[in-house]
């Protein structure tokens, strides 16, 4: 056979088989999605007038369960826009208007004299979005329509977002205004004009404009819905839907294909007229946009498309005009993902299918504080998709919760686990407690966001990480390490610039460690200036106070003043009373905090459930007089119990590590105060260091602070050292909730999850709710307890069975699971 003829015969065969393969793949993916309640709708794929694929999946109405067909009519949402521009093109060909006419020529009350019809069609008018204008003026009984919208524009005359023609910005008001122009110029309703000039001539029997002010609707109308507790529930038109132009054309996949094919002919308008609709618009400066008249121009002369999304509905038309191929996807179950799957498979892209996982037979404590309830919870990819009496989909993986508690993963608002992630990216110290998000950058010291993100990308971790930006770190940078003094105005200005940049990159806010020397000498006004910068960016303030003992009251007044002056939410880190003669004053402090809240200061706190803290022994000298014996004596009397306080790290003499200060005193035949001075002196030498776990709080105060409704739980823990690093959260649930019955379990979970998310300013975590990230912990409320002690601080807790981070299992029964699914979490 002649080679040339052979090739000619082969080519169509290849393209035919490629199409067949793609369609088989699309059909199996749609089936997979439909079986998992991730798709409900109709799809059509056509080429050169021939339908290659046409199929309906699911129901047209959640109440009647009527099956969808290829002639069922969906609300097209914004795919409607192309029909309204077609009506304008028809009116132009009828000689009734010109694109460059001022809108005012037809709508005299329209308050912007320089906006033209072309600006509206091209989305370059600068009009503001009508939802925002209308919503404040609508009562619950009102339905918005085009006339009332136009009256609102005339009455309010909201500022333009930009000068007409100077920018491109997608805006629905452009198209509601176009509908008003069509009605005015044609002297009829948009729907009548549409039927007469488009639907009628093209015999689109299931295509029409429908709005809520119409008395009845055609039988082909599809209703939007969403799945709630596994059951389809109506999710359809709202009171804005008396309006048309931006949406509210209804059509079926069959009619959409007839429409698409008509656009290759001159049945409606001339080729030259339509050609302009699928050519990019131009700004005043000549720059091309990516939009024509109701069409996105993805690739000029090759691909044009539009998507639509409106309560319950998600729609897509993509036209490959160089090949005369067309995809139409119409969905009514509030789930848009099928659209991109169909389009990407057709365009030859590979895409991973969503995975679903069902956790059955659990008692859900959802984090809101509401009572536990029995349910199953479904995860789709990284999100919670549904909660209720759910049954597994075909071949779905299932975890049986055996009646245990399923709660949102715990958020640790004050964590030092970050520094240990290098050596243990599984973060088992935290995940074994049920913690799924750690908040670092505490006590005034932080890492730059860029390096943190780069590092998490390079070394994936099993836990989410959010961070504050630390004041001491800013001081170190801009005061060249000379931090034992007040910062100058110039230095403060530099700090503010960097802080603002970090906030833009997702920092939660400003953290301070005012008790520590790197910040102790800063003036209150420096902190307030930085807090104002933080407030302007929507960030928050969290602080290890200037004093937790001798000057605690003044330190609390300082943080309240910061909240008052900078108008910023303020959080007290690890609230405590670390001074014996002040024990029992927690009631008084709480009253002070409550008073401040009444004055409008958003003050909150976090707390860890131990009577001992962990820090440098230098904090035992509130006046920074590290050589004063009388101060050391005061410390041993008031600030810590030398017999119950352990040097967990002591580099000058490792033999003393693990010994109490009293034991060290006995070895040296001196008083504990003298030993304290010795410890300070020896560990101050270059390259030496000391860490003490010091017992200094009372259980009564811990109970009071823990119960305060605005206190969330934190660990303040690290991978090593104080047992809180491995035990804080299970200790609250076992010791304070189960054994001491300090508060209901639901309240404690709230203080570990959604209250924390609120206190630190992150969203979509901290609740078990549809759409939230699937950070989850399954635990046994009967057995959960911490095991870590000062002597054995790495012991894992009992009773935590499963922990998921972003939908992936990272911990199961004392073992880390190597799914490093943690992410950097930004302030929202
Ligand atoms: Zn601290």
- In SS3 terms, 280-339 reads as CCECCCCCECCECCCCEEEECCCEEEEEEEECCEEEEEEEECCCCEEEEEEECCCCCHHH
Radius of gyration of the chain from its Cα atoms, rounded to whole angstroms: 33
C-alpha distances out from residue 300 to 295, 319, 497, Å: 11, 12, 43
The pLDDT tens digits of the residues spanning 674-710 come to: 999 999 999 999 899 999 999 999 999 999 999 999 9
What residue has token string 């005359």?
157
Stretch 719-746: mean pLDDT: 97
Q: What pLDDT does residue 238 have?
A: 74
Catalytic positions, written as ranges: 78
Burial of residue 628 (CB within 10 Å: 0-12, 13-18, 19+) is: middle
Rounded to the nearest angstrom, the gap between the alpha carbon of residue 214 and the centroid of all alpha carbons in its chain is 38
The pLDDT tens digits of the residues spanning 592-609 come to: 999 999 999 999 999 999
Count CA atoms within 13 Å of residue 438 on its CB side.
Answer: 31
Backbone angles phi, psi at 612, to 5 degrees: -120, 145
| Residue 113: count of CB within 10 angstroms of its CB | 10
Is the model's pLDDT at 573 over the cut of 90? Answer: yes
Geometric angle at alpha carbon 761, from 759 and 767, rounded to 5°? 80
Q: What pLDDT does residue 828 have?
A: 80
Q: Which residue has the higher pLDDT, 14 or 599?
A: 599
Structure token digits, residue 251? 């059509």
Q: By C-alpha distance, which of 283, 290, 284, 323 is closest to 305? A: 290
**Ligand 1 centroid distance, CA of 544 (Å):** 5
Compute the Cα dihedral for 211, 212, 216, 221 and give only its sign: positive
**Ligand 1 centroid distance, CA of 442 (Å):** 7
Residue 620 DSSP code: G
Structure token digits, residue 285? 């400066």
Q: Is-contact 563 570, C-beta < 8 A?
A: yes
**Ligand 1 centroid distance, CA of 335 (Å):** 44
Q: Binning pLDDT at 50, 70 and 90, where does residue 131 land? A: confident
Q: Binning pLDDT at 50, 70 and 90, where does residue 1 land? A: very low
Geometric angle at alpha carbon 346, from 342 and 352, rounded to 5°? 60
**Ligand 1 centroid distance, CA of 800 (Å):** 27
Backbone angles phi, psi at 768, to 5 degrees: -95, 100
Q: Is-contact 692 613, C-beta < 8 A?
A: no
Residue 574 DSSP code: T
**Ligand 1 centroid distance, CA of 12 (Å):** 71
Is the model's pLDDT at 215 over the cut of 80? Answer: no
Stretch 251-273: mean pLDDT: 98
Question: Rounded distance, CA 705 to CA 106, Å?
Answer: 67
Greatest Cα pair distance, the chain, in angstroms, is 108
Element holding 359 (H helix, E strand) = strand 356-364
Burial of residue 105 (CB within 10 Å: 0-12, 13-18, 19+) is: middle
Q: What pLDDT does residue 354 have?
A: 94
Residues pairing with 605 in the sheet: 572, 711
Contacts of 184 (CB under 8 A, 6+ apart): 106, 107
Question: Rounded distance, CA 136 to CA 129, Å?
Answer: 13
Query: What is residue 481's three-state secondary structure?
Result: coil
Query: What is residue 179's three-state secondary structure?
Result: helix
Residues pairing with 435 in the sheet: 410
Q: Binning pLDDT at 50, 70 and 90, where does residue 481 land? A: confident
Question: Rounded distance, CA 363 to CA 369, Å?
Answer: 14
For the ranges 12-21, 35-44, 355-364, 365-374, the lowest mean pLDDT is seen at: 12-21
Stretch 284-301: mean pLDDT: 97
**Ligand 1 centroid distance, CA of 615 (Å):** 8
**Ligand 1 centroid distance, CA of 715 (Å):** 10
Question: Rounded distance, CA 435 to CA 463, Å?
Answer: 8
Question: Rounded distance, CA 740 to CA 726, Å?
Answer: 21
**Ligand 1 centroid distance, CA of 778 (Å):** 29
Q: In 213-270, which ranges are continuous DSSP H helix?
A: 253-262
Q: Binning pLDDT at 50, 70 and 90, where does residue 84 land? A: very high
C-alpha distances out from residue 250 to 76, 199, 202, 811, Å: 6, 11, 15, 49
Question: Rounded distance, CA 541 to CA 551, Å?
Answer: 20
**Ligand 1 centroid distance, CA of 159 (Å):** 48
Backbone angles phi, psi at 333, to 5 degrees: -115, 25
For the ranges 3-17, 249-263, 378-392, 518-532, the lowest mean pLDDT is seen at: 3-17
Q: Evaluate if pTM is beyond 0.95.
A: no
Structure token digits, residue 448? 């730059």
For the ranges 4-8, 126-130, 399-403, the lowest mean pLDDT is seen at: 4-8
What residue has token string 């104002």?
532
For the ranges 208-212, 402-406, 503-507, the lowest mean pLDDT is seen at: 208-212
Q: Is-contact 167 124, C-beta < 8 A?
A: yes
Q: Binning pLDDT at 50, 70 and 90, where does residue 239 land? A: low
Q: Binning pLDDT at 50, 70 and 90, where does residue 714 land? A: very high
Backbone angles phi, psi at 119, to 5 degrees: -55, -40
Question: Rounded distance, CA 203 to CA 184, Å?
Answer: 25
Q: Binning pLDDT at 50, 70 and 90, where does residue 537 land? A: very high
Structure token digits, residue 719? 């991978």
**Ligand 1 centroid distance, CA of 546 (Å):** 10
Is the model's pLDDT at 74 over the cut of 50? Answer: yes
Q: Is-contact 229 390, C-beta < 8 A?
A: yes
Q: What pLDDT does residue 13 have?
A: 52
**Ligand 1 centroid distance, CA of 718 (Å):** 12
**Ligand 1 centroid distance, CA of 796 (Å):** 23
Structure token digits, residue 774? 């699937």
Q: What is the mean pLDDT of the chain?
A: 94
Question: Rounded distance, CA 36 to CA 40, Å?
Answer: 10
| Residue 400: count of CB within 10 angstroms of its CB | 12
Q: Is-contact 582 548, C-beta < 8 A?
A: no
**Ligand 1 centroid distance, CA of 414 (Å):** 8
**Ligand 1 centroid distance, CA of 515 (Å):** 9
Query: What is residue 541's three-state secondary structure?
Result: strand
Count CA atoms within 13 Å of residue 83 on its CB side.
Answer: 34
**Ligand 1 centroid distance, CA of 286 (Å):** 57
Q: Binning pLDDT at 50, 70 and 90, where does residue 7 land? A: very low
**Ligand 1 centroid distance, CA of 259 (Å):** 66
Q: Is-contact 316 45, C-beta < 8 A?
A: no
Structure token digits, residue 269? 């308008």
Percent of all residues in the chain with a pLDDT value above 70, rounded to a whole number: 97
Structure token digits, residue 465? 């990480």
Q: Is-contact 447 480, C-beta < 8 A?
A: no
**Ligand 1 centroid distance, CA of 768 (Å):** 30
Instruction: Please measure the distance between the N-terminal and C-terminal CA atoms of the chain and give it in whole angstroms.
Output: 67
């Amino acid at each position: 056979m002649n080679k040339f003829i052979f090739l000619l015969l082969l080519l169509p065969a290849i393209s035919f088989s490629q199409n067949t393969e793609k369609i088989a793949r699309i059909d199996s993916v749609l089936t997979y999605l439909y079986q998992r309640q991730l798709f409900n709708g109709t799809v059509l794929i056509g080429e050169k007038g021939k339908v290659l694929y046409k199929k309906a999946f699911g129901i047209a109405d959640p109440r009647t369960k009527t099956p969808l067909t290829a002639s069922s009519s969906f609300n097209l949402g914004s795919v409607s826009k192309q029909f309204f521009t077609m009506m304008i093109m028809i009116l132009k060909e009828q000689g009734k208007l010109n694109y460059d006419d001022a809108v005012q020529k037809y709508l005299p009350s329209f308050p912007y004299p320089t906006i033209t019809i072309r600006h509206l069609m091209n989305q370059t008018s600068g009009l503001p979005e009508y939802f925002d204008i209308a919503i404040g003026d609508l009562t619950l009984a009102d339905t918005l329509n085009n006339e009332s919208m136009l009256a609102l524009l005339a009455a309010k005359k909201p500022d333009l977002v930009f000068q007409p023609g100077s920018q491109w910005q997608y805006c629905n008001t452009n198209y509601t205004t176009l509908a008003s122009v069509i009605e005015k110029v044609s002297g009829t309703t948009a729907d009548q004009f549409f039927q007469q000039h488009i639907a009628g001539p093209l015999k689109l029997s299931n295509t029409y404009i429908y709005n809520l002010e119409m008395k009845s609707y055609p039988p082909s109308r599809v209703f939007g819905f969403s799945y709630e507790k596994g059951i389809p529930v109506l999710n359809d038109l709202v009171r804005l839907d008396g309006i048309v132009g931006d949406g509210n054309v209804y059509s079926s996949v069959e009619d959409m294909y007839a429409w698409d094919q008509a656009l290759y002919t001159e049945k409606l308008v001339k080729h030259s007229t339509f050609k302009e609709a699928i050519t990019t618009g131009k700004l005043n400066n000549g720059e091309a946009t990516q939009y024509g008249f109701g069409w996105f121009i993805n690739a000029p002369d090759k691909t044009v498309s539009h998507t639509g999304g409106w309560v319950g509905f998600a729609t897509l038309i993509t036209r490959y005009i160089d090949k005369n191929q067309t995809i139409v996807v119409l969905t009514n179950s509030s789930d848009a993902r099928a659209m991109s799957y169909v389009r990407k498979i057709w365009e030859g892209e590979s895409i991973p299918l969503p995975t679903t996982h069902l956790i059955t037979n659990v008692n859900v404590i959802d984090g809101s504080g509401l009572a536990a309830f029995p349910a199953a919870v479904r995860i789709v990819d990284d999100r919670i998709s549904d909660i209720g009496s759910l049954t597994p989909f075909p071949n779905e993986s299932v975890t049986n919760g055996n009646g245990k508690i399923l709660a949102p993963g715990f958020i640790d608002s004050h964590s030092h686990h970050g520094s240990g992630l290098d050596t243990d990216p599984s973060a088992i110290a935290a995940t074994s407690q049920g913690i799924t998000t750690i908040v670092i950058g505490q006590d005034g010291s932080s890492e730059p966001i860029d390096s943190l993100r780069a590092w998490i990308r390079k070394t994936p971790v099993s836990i989410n990480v959010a961070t504050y930006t630390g004041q001491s770190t800013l001081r170190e940078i801009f005061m060249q390490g000379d931090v034992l003094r007040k910062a100058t105005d110039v230095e403060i200005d530099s700090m503010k610039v960097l802080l603002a940049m970090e906030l833009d990159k997702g920092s939660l806010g400003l953290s301070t460690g005012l008790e520590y020397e790197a910040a102790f000498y800063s003036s209150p006004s420096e902190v307030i200036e930085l807090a104002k910068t933080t407030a302007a960016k929507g960030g928050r303030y969290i602080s290890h106070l200037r004093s937790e003992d001798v000057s605690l009251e003044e330190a609390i007044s300082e943080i309240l003043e910061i909240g008052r002056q900078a108008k910023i939410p303020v959080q007290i880190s690890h609230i405590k009373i670390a001074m014996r003669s002040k024990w029992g004053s927690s009631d008084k402090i709480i009253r002070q905090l409550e008073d401040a809240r009444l004055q409008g200061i958003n003050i909150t706190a976090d707390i860890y459930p131990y009577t001992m803290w962990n820090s440098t022994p230098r904090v035992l000298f509130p006046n920074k007089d590290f050589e004063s014996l009388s101060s050391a004596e005061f410390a041993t009397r008031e600030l810590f119990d030398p017999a119950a306080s352990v040097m967990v790290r002591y580099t000058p003499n490792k033999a003393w590590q693990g010994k109490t200060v009293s034991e060290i005193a006995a070895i040296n035949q001196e008083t504990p105060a003298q030993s304290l001075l010795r410890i300070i002196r020896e560990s101050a030498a270059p390259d030496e260091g000391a860490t003490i776990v010091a017992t200094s709080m009372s259980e009564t105060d811990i109970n009071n602070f823990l119960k305060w409704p605005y206190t969330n739980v934190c660990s303040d823990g690290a991978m090593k050292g104080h047992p809180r690093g491995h035990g804080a959260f299970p200790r609250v649930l076992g010791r304070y909730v189960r054994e001491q019955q300090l508060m209901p379990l639901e309240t404690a979970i709230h203080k570990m999850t959604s209250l924390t998310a609120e206190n630190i300013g992150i969203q979509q975590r901290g609740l078990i709710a549809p759409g939230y990230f699937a950070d989850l912990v399954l635990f046994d409320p009967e057995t959960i307890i911490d095991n870590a002690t000062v002597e054995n601080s790495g012991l894992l807790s009992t009773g935590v069975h499963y922990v998921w981070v972003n939908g992936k299992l990272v911990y199961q029964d004392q073992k880390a699971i190597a799914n490093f699914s943690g992410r950097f979490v930004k302030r929202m």
